[in-house]
Copies of this chain bind each other. A is one copy, B any other.
Amino acid sequence: MTIQEAAQRSGLSAHTLRYYERIGLIHSVGRNSSGHRDYAERDLQWLAFLTKLRTTGMPIADMCRYAELSRAGAHTAGERRAMLERHRERVLARIAELSQDLTALDYKIEMYKGVS
């Protein structure tokens, strides 16, 4: 599939897809006879996973590290899992923080309701 289709389906821009490949986040996207990228279903799945890491706030540098480990083979599975578990804790903490701040926000909104 072309880069535009992949962009459409992944929700990332074509620019971002090229950028991700350049920095090593996506490995070995196929090329067709004229040198254009040709994304496979596997690439889309990987992209979907990357997108989850991104939207949950993992820095690009960490994602690169994860991608590198994935490329290195099965013996890195433990380290990858550890990365995900650390990340999981951060996401959990972030949800807790947001929930806390939401309560404060609600309180503030209530104050506006009381006044008007």
- Which A residues are within 8 Å of any B CB, using their own CB? 49, 52, 55-56, 77-78, 80-81, 84-85, 87-88, 91-92, 94-95, 97-99, 101-102, 104-106, 108-109, 112-113, 115-116
Q: How far is the CA of A97 from the CA of B11 in the complex (A)?
A: 15
- The A interface, classified by DSSP as helix, strand, loop or mixed, is helix
Contacts of A115 in B (CB 8 A): 77
Cβ–Cβ contact B101 & A84, under 8 A: no
Cβ–Cβ contact B95 & A98, under 8 A: yes
Contacts of A108 in B (CB 8 A): 49, 84
Cβ–Cβ contact A98 & B56, under 8 A: yes
Q: Which residue of B lies closest to A105 (CB)?
A: B88
